[in-house]
Structure 1
């Protein structure tokens, strides 16, 4: 019987292969590069699964419920599901490694997507809601996978590592919304409602992403990172040096705040854009195009963003995130409903602002955590991020029903400006 891993995910009696990585910086960098490749492949598939819910989730609920007021409920539900999933995946990853935690999350998300298809076929709203919660596991895992690439990254590589993981999501995430029409026809040919078609794609891609990680993410990067951290602690004889191996709570709070505000603003405006477009005569293909470009802006700039975050610092790019989100909100508020071009500009800016905020926040969390507690902390932070998205998505439909899409956009824009005083607070308390 193999020795049981402790809370850090490392066996009490380290095997020789782990020691070979601990003793060799060259092997650590080789594993770092291999891990990034595996994460890239899994994220391509995971991105396609992620795109299904944000593209047609609100429209599916609108059709099944017969009202716009609760159109934001699907996004709220799978985002709420992703909150619980973030905690579960984080704890599984901390105890058993990234491989097991991430694979479990993606496979669960695939099962949830299958449930959504069955719910649409049987017109069972309760099954739809339950399935969307489980589908949220895929959303949470898609985000948590970005951390896997940072486990063995140096402080100067972290922004870039996060970016590589995120930009790889673009291929699937952009393809997903643009396949809405095709998957709708495919679903109809099977006798399933057209709006459930993207969830058929999500089921397949999430399951493939999970299997890729389960089979190929070996050696596990977090297990190796924990072993390296343990070895460093044992080599420290000075108590002052030992205390440096603890979490920086102020940095964690700052990173979490940046991601929470960014997520809430982005989800609220994005969710109601699809409903807003449909009300003004835009078809599914047009909705798919706008959301596809929005998702591209969420992930595609990541390679450049990561370099900027590493070069100019987390604070500068956090301010850029707030300013970009505010610009997106203003454009969305004044956009003529029949103008595809202006709506595309608004949603591209919205995605770009989210990209800046998420990469800055993620880098701050990685900077502020020690490997032996990193995955659990990351999971807890992603719970808050998911709850913020659930709040934004859940209340967006009700808010628009009482006011307007333009008002929602402007409120989101003003909320994004809170990132600036957050940065000022952080700087004042680090002097």
Structure 2
């Protein structure tokens, strides 16, 4: 089991690194391409929306595939679909077809769905006392790709020019390479022995225990996926903290650059603010993994909610008073930390509180909820910003946060202390 755990950690981290390059490279120019292909500025945000929706719609099917086959099949298909999406985007750029571009961006979102499932895959072979840390290290690996990706946009454009095609197609060719490498990495995954049966199957490829499509579902599985969550208050808290945290982060992060632009901040300062936010999201995730294993998921979720509240208060103050680069940078950094705390701790709580028979479907439900919820608030954030300014974005964040806080109070934040 130990060798399986170590091998899977390396494979998942490498896949996350390369996929992060692909996602970040594509998003760096996605909005510009949407505006260029459609000729309408108001449609620029639909590139990201299409990708988020794609991730949300694919999360449950990929989780189902992981359940009936294994993680290798699910993650391989996810990165394969993302690779296909990148190729469709290149074709759309060359042909000047906006509908094909948005379809490609939908498939592009499969990389996000696979990346989110990877954090759960890290816990499959991890000892219980190390689950949060195993998850956090895989999340941390995204940092490298997320930082490198945007910086490869310009070299990608030069690649496009060198090949004699549209320069904007170049970054997506880099994404094709990143997803191809991610696909290769997940082929090295081993499936740990099932914990819900008394026997072990053997993987013919590597001699390791494996669960396959032919294995029947455990007899202990009762009811549907949502019923399984409702039976466990702790699991409900984990699900709500993950989904609400992602919704708060996306709504605030997407609108902050617009808010800063309205107050005269240049692209350089906006870029620094977003870079600090991304570092808060991923760079310190191992710290939250350690704290979750050491003190309990519920306490880390509470800490994440406090961080969210502090970020939203700072954002509200900035919206109603004189805007400050330093204040917004601190707010976005705290926003990233809150997201990381709630993602790591909430995902760990969801995993440990759900019975194994329902674990993978519930994990898929959480990923679908994250992305579909984020797509909803992203669509709502634009009109709110236009009507009431950035203050209304922070109010939206407080409304969403309150639901998770109420769930935490109801369950005593999981009522589970140090293990």
TM-score under structure 2 normalisation?
A: 0.82
| Alignment-derived partner of residue 160 in structure 1 | 133
Q: Is contact 1:317-1:356 (8 Å) kept?
A: yes
1:340–1:51 distance in 2 versus 1, CA, 3 Å:
farther
User: Aligned ranges for residues 135-284 of structure 1 at < 5 Å?
Assistant: 135-187=108-160, 190=163, 197-214=170-187, 216-217=188-189, 219-221=190-192, 224=193, 226=194, 228-231=195-198, 249-250=231-232, 251-277=234-260, 280=264, 282-283=266-267
| Uncovered stretches (5+) of structure 1, i.e. residues with no partner | 1-27, 234-241
1:301 equivalent to 2:268? Answer no
1:197–1:288 distance in 2 versus 1, CA, 3 Å:
farther
Which stretch of structure 1 is more off in the superposition, 199-208 or 274-283?
Answer: 274-283
Which stretch of structure 1 is more off in the superposition, 289-298 or 318-327?
Answer: 289-298
Q: Secondary structure, in 3 states, of the residue corresponding to 1:220?
A: coil
How far 1:305 sits from its partner (Å)?
0.3
Give the one of 11, 19, 22 matched to 1:46.
19
Which stretch of structure 1 is more off in the superposition, 74-83 or 51-60?
Answer: 51-60
| Alignment-derived partner of residue 416 in structure 1 | 401
| Alignment-derived partner of residue 11 in structure 1 | none
Q: Is contact 2:282-2:340 (8 Å) kept?
A: yes
Q: Secondary structure, in 3 states, of the residue corresponding to 2:128?
A: coil
Q: Secondary structure, in 3 states, of the residue corresponding to 2:126?
A: coil
Q: Secondary structure, in 3 states, of the residue corresponding to 2:127?
A: coil
How far 1:55 sits from its partner (Å)?
4.0
Q: Is contact 1:58-1:73 (8 Å) kept?
A: yes
| Alignment-derived partner of residue 85 in structure 2 | 112
Q: Is contact 1:73-1:394 (8 Å) kept?
A: no
1:41 & 1:307 partners in 2: Cα distance? 21
1:258–1:429 distance in 2 versus 1, CA, 3 Å:
closer
| Alignment-derived partner of residue 99 in structure 1 | 72
Q: Is contact 2:52-2:374 (8 Å) kept?
A: yes
| Alignment-derived partner of residue 331 in structure 1 | 314
2:63 & 2:308 partners in 1: Cα distance? 29
| Uncovered stretches (5+) of structure 2, i.e. residues with no partner | 201-218
1:354 & 1:57 partners in 2: Cα distance? 24
2:40 & 2:242 partners in 1: Cα distance? 31
1:262 & 1:137 partners in 2: Cα distance? 21
1:107 & 1:118 partners in 2: Cα distance? 17
1:131 equivalent to 2:115? Answer no
Cα RMSD for the two superposed structures: 3.1
1:308–1:46 distance in 2 versus 1, CA, 3 Å:
same
| Alignment-derived partner of residue 34 in structure 2 | 61
1:123–1:287 distance in 2 versus 1, CA, 3 Å:
farther
Which stretch of structure 1 is more off in the superposition, 188-197 or 419-428?
Answer: 188-197
How far 1:58 sits from its partner (Å)?
3.6
| Alignment-derived partner of residue 353 in structure 1 | 338
| Alignment-derived partner of residue 212 in structure 2 | none
Which stretch of structure 1 is more off in the superposition, 148-157 or 186-195?
Answer: 186-195
Q: Is contact 2:16-2:142 (8 Å) kept?
A: yes
Q: Is contact 2:305-2:338 (8 Å) kept?
A: yes
1:372 & 1:423 partners in 2: Cα distance? 25
Q: Is contact 2:119-2:138 (8 Å) kept?
A: yes
Aligned residues, how many?
389
Q: Is contact 1:58-1:274 (8 Å) kept?
A: no
2:159 & 2:373 partners in 1: Cα distance? 34
1:282–1:187 distance in 2 versus 1, CA, 3 Å:
farther
1:377 equivalent to 2:367? Answer no
How far 1:164 sits from its partner (Å)?
1.1
2:131 & 2:360 partners in 1: Cα distance? 15
Q: Is contact 1:121-1:192 (8 Å) kept?
A: yes
Q: Is contact 2:237-2:404 (8 Å) kept?
A: no
Which stretch of structure 1 is more off in the superposition, 390-399 or 137-146?
Answer: 390-399
How far 1:40 sits from its partner (Å)?
1.2
1:125–1:243 distance in 2 versus 1, CA, 3 Å:
closer
1:346 & 1:430 partners in 2: Cα distance? 30
